Amino acid sequence: MNEIYTIKTDYFNRPWTWIVRALRFLMATLVLYLVDLYELELGSNALMGGYIFIGVLALFFLVWPTDDLALDRGNLYFIKKSLLPYANKTTCYKLSDFKGIGTYNISKPAGIFALLVPVFNLYRVEIIFKDNSSKSHDLIIHKKELKKILLKVKELVSLNLS
């Protein structure tokens, strides 16, 4: 699918996305290593479980889909892109069907799992259609880029309504 977008975020191909994922994995490995050094005896079964957990965590960080948002002249695209091709998903909405669109931050305060779950840029985008139905999508995306795209969507929707 070779779409030509007017505006598109491209988090999947940005190096910092993968650097942050690698750092989270290294932090989890460091925690396991410290537990290994200070808490467990040699030959403990819990240590093997920890290594299996770290392996699963590494796979999780590699294949977890990255949220992207794209816009062309007539459509808004919510894109989830992963290293696994079958995990890729694109949801397309026609702007001519929109009555309105809005967003708000649904991030929670960072806690102990802040290293594993990036909760500081979690936004919910709500679309209201002309038939008064609605649809919402949760995205991990930067506020500045989200605002830029949604302002353009609102502009295009207002042109369609008039």
DSSP string, 125-157: EEEEETTS-EEEEEEE--HHHHHHHHHHHHHHH
The whole-number pLDDT of residue 38 equals 59
Q: What is the arithmetic mean of pLDDT over 19-32?
A: 79
Could you tell me whether strands 122-129 and 98-105 are parallel, antiparallel, or unpaired per DSSP bridges? antiparallel
Q: Are 137 and 106 in contact (CB under 8 A)?
A: no
pLDDT band of residue 71 (cuts 50, 70, 90) is very high
Q: Provide the β-strand partners of residue 76.
A: 71, 93
**pLDDT, tens only, 134-154:** 999 999 888 899 999 999 999
Could you tell me whether strands 66-71 and 75-81 are parallel, antiparallel, or unpaired per DSSP bridges? antiparallel
Collapsed DSSP state (helix, strand, coil) of residue 115: helix
